[in-house]
Amino acid sequence: MKAVTSRSDEHLYDEVKRLKKRIVKVTQEHDLLKKATAYFAPKVGSMRKGKLCEVRMDN
Task: Report the C-alpha gap between 8 and 12 in whole angstroms.
Answer: 6
Per residue in 2-59, pLDDT (tens digit) is 555 677 899 999 999 999 999 999 999 999 999 999 988 877 666 666 555 555 666 5
Looking at residue 12, what is its pLDDT?
95
Inter-residue contact 48 to 40 (CB < 8 Å) = no
Q: Within a domain: residue 32?
A: yes
3 state DSSP class of 58: coil
Quote the number of domains for the chain: 1
Looking at residue 45, what is its pLDDT?
61
Looking at residue 1, what is its pLDDT?
46
- What's the residue count for the chain? 59
Inter-residue contact 47 to 53 (CB < 8 Å) = yes
Give the number of C-alpha atoms closer than 13 A to the C-alpha of residue 54, restricted to the C-beta side.
Answer: 3
Looking at residue 32, what is its pLDDT?
97
Q: Name the nearest CA neighbour of 13 among 24, 5, 25.
A: 5
Verdict on whether the full-model pTM lies above 0.75: no
Domain housing 25: 1-42
